[in-house]
Amino acid sequence: MTPHIAEDGEITLGFKRTTAFLVDAKTGTVIRTYGLDNATSTFGAQHVGKKALLLVKDAGLVNSAAAADLGTVRHLVYVTRTDYVLQHHSPNSSEVLWNVAFADIEAEFRCQGFSSSLTGLSSSVDEDADDIEFPCQMRTAVLRIRDPSLLNFDRLALAHLGGGPRFLPVPDHVLSLGPVQRSPLALPAHKDRPILALPASEAVDSRSIGLLSGNVGIINGTTLPSEIIAKSLTWPIIASILSIMGSVFYSYLTFRKQRKLNKPVEELKAETGVSKKKKSKRSGNNKNSPNSERRQKYLQLGNDARDVFDGSVEGRKIGKLIVSNREIAKGSNGTVVLEGIYDGRLVAVKRLVQTHHDVALKEIQNLIASDQHPNIVRWFGVEYDQDFVYLALERCICSLNDFIFVHSESFQNRAVSQDVHSKYSPESTVQLYSVLECNKNVDLWKANGQPSPQLLRLMRDVVQGLVHLHELGIIHRDLKPQNVLIINEKSYRAKLSDMGISKRLVGDMSSLTHNITGYGSSGWQAPEQLLQGRQTRAVDLFGLGCVLFFCFTGGKHPYGDNIERDVNIVNDRKDLFLVENIPEAVDLFSCLLDSNPEKRPKALEVLNHPLFWTPEKRLLFLQDMSDRVELEDRENESEILEALESIGTLALNGKWDEKMEAAFINNIGRYRRYKYDSVRDLLRVIRNKSHHYRELPQEIKELLGSYPEGFENYFSCRFPKLLIEVYKVMCRCCKEEEFFRKYTESSEI
């Protein structure tokens, strides 16, 4: 931070200088000194008897022995010295008002030819009785001096194990500070290692610093006897050995549990996964691919998340998983969802108690089989400790339940009142407001209350996920808004989650056995689940009907409030009043919520229901039906024509010309005559005007609106039941015809 100029003009200057010494731990010889220019110089050692001394003078270093060969040294000590100096000057003169200086000295022990480890022990490299085993890599603070006068000493001594002192040279760049009145600064304690700081009042000319396997000792000009050193090393070595033995035993138990959990997972991966060769060929290593960009994005998010966890959020690391204490959601039986990071990727961590190990395994198995689908939550990995199993799942912004709730009119009305705060916990309320703030530009319903295209896409995502599960023979059995999650990657997408009680049909099984365990959530179960009857894929279709109704109505349930839902489900008392103005919704929900499982549609049939069709597809279907019945003759008793005309009362509700403007009727009357009570003739009008829209007069175009949205809306507003009634005729009479399979078997919109 220096130089620093104060408001009164006083200026503080400072510098930091570093020096490193490479020392042979066995002989005490300084092999090399590293200076600021990164150049190395080799020092010799003057031998006096069995003790090697380095003599330091102001003029320079005196060499009296050959340089040590680094390649023959097996035990090294790296000693680093950092000198700090601050000087505070008066603004009116060059007078130094005060100065502070201190030196920070550290040492690190290394074993040449051995892999360094924080916990590993080096082996003895010879048969010398004086050799003692040290940790191969240990960094420790040796001495920190804060009195400027102590920086003028001429030598530092390293106490050799069993030998005399070894002296290190004082760097020649250390300043000699003037005799000013001092107020030495207190040094902050280092969080990772001990600090030995001498009081400023002590006057010391030289110090010997003992390096005792990481234990720090200050010796007043003397050397520690080898017996004391050996005793001082005994307990740390014993403690290290016991620690290692405990770690090995714990790792063995952990490995056994992990293998027990992962064995069936790996078997299922082998059965359902793609071969490595095909997978690598498909994904590739292209750095510019979307997958590569997405991974880089996840890695950056992971780095950002690590910063958050290291700073404001407490958490811990379990294998590849970093689990924070920030809770996202709660489930049953002690299940909690937490924020986390798995392999550099932001994830949601589903934590289950160990007693529900089978539930976790089942969820993993079904996710492995299904999570490659874009509408199934992805599973990345599993970790566990003594108490919990941790599933790393795809991180989503919220559940469908919260997404619908925060955008519903009821939430907007209650947001300014105390109702929301009284119904939800403070944490949940904060999360709800956060979801609303991040997605405030989302429109889920039109001005007339009908679902927007965006909401219809989310609902269709749910159906697509269910189609995928049923194709794999998996019955979810717990479909509800809380188990549908929302992600936002360029656009919003819904994904099925929580496969804990899902079941997989084996072989050609069509249903599960009676009285099976795991019945799902109250208020969202099919009647056969509540009555513990035979369960087929149809149980999911019932739950799907409740979920879709929930979306349509902004959070309402077709069977009433929580307390009465199960009773109403068993007694088939549903109320579709809130969607009665949308005939396609009434038709679909009536089928999905049928008390008879056999009458409920299949998931693929729901996916192709007109409720999810775009305006363009709705118009195309009506045109195709018009073409299909165009040449049918009434006198030959055409079945499809009779069926089509029989819906006239429901579809037209009178003569259709009465619901159109005179200008439009006059326009269509110029080319041919129509029967205004005929469904076939109305379809003919829609087909002809659709084909010749560009040729219509501007007045008629403005009347009909833009094509296809406005055009389709013109007829659907006047004949709201026309599309669904014609669709029913198609399903009864020509569903199997090749021409209409695109409306019943296609997964496209």
Asked if 569 contacts 593 with a C-beta cutoff of 8 angstroms, the reply is: no
Q: d(Cα 732, Cα 748) in Å, to the nearest integer?
A: 22
Q: Do the strands 388-394 and 484-489 form a parallel or antiparallel pair, or are they unpaired?
A: unpaired
Q: Do the strands 484-489 and 491-496 form a parallel or antiparallel pair, or are they unpaired?
A: antiparallel
Q: What angle do CA 178, 184, 187 make, to 5 degrees?
A: 135
As a whole number, mean pLDDT of residues 180-193 equals 38
Q: d(Cα 685, Cα 136) in Å, to the nearest integer?
A: 90
What is the reported pLDDT for 601?
96
* Amino acid at site 134: F
Q: d(Cα 560, Cα 515) in Å, to the nearest integer?
A: 27
As a whole number, mean pLDDT of residues 398-412 equals 80
- Residue 473 scores a pLDDT above 50: yes
More confident residue, 215 or 686: 686
Q: d(Cα 169, Cα 157) in Å, to the nearest integer?
A: 9
pLDDT tens for 210-242 read 333 333 333 333 344 444 445 555 656 676 677
Q: Do the strands 46-48 and 51-53 form a parallel or antiparallel pair, or are they unpaired?
A: antiparallel
Take residue 603 and report the two structure tokens written for it: 């998931």
More confident residue, 664 or 134: 664
Least confident of 71-80, 204-213, 735-744: 204-213
pLDDT tens for 351-382 read 988 877 777 888 888 888 887 899 999 999 99
- Enumerate residues 6+ apart whose C-beta is below 8 A from 668: 674, 685, 688, 689
Q: d(Cα 99, Cα 88) in Å, to the nearest integer?
A: 6
Q: What's the farthest any 2 CA atoms get from each other in the chain?
A: 130
Percent of the chain with pLDDT over 70: 62
Percent of the chain with pLDDT over 90: 37
pLDDT tens for 688-706 read 999 999 999 999 999 999 9
Take residue 14 and report the two structure tokens written for it: 């400072």
Return the active site residues.
Answer: 478
pTM: 0.60
Q: d(Cα 228, Cα 224) in Å, to the nearest integer?
A: 7
- In whole angstroms, how far apart are CA 609 and each of 495, 578, 682? 20, 19, 22
Residue keyed to tokens 């105390």: 418
Q: d(Cα 267, Cα 287) in Å, to the nearest integer?
A: 31
- Residue 174 scores a pLDDT above 60: no
- In whole angstroms, how far apart are CA 395 and each of 124, 378, 384? 51, 9, 19
- Enumerate residues 6+ apart whose C-beta is below 8 A from 289: 283
What is the reported pLDDT for 549?
97
pLDDT tens for 498-528 read 887 788 876 666 666 555 555 678 899 999 9
Number of H helices, E strands in the chain: 22, 27
**Torsion angle, CA of 524/528/533/536, rounded to 10 degrees?**
-80
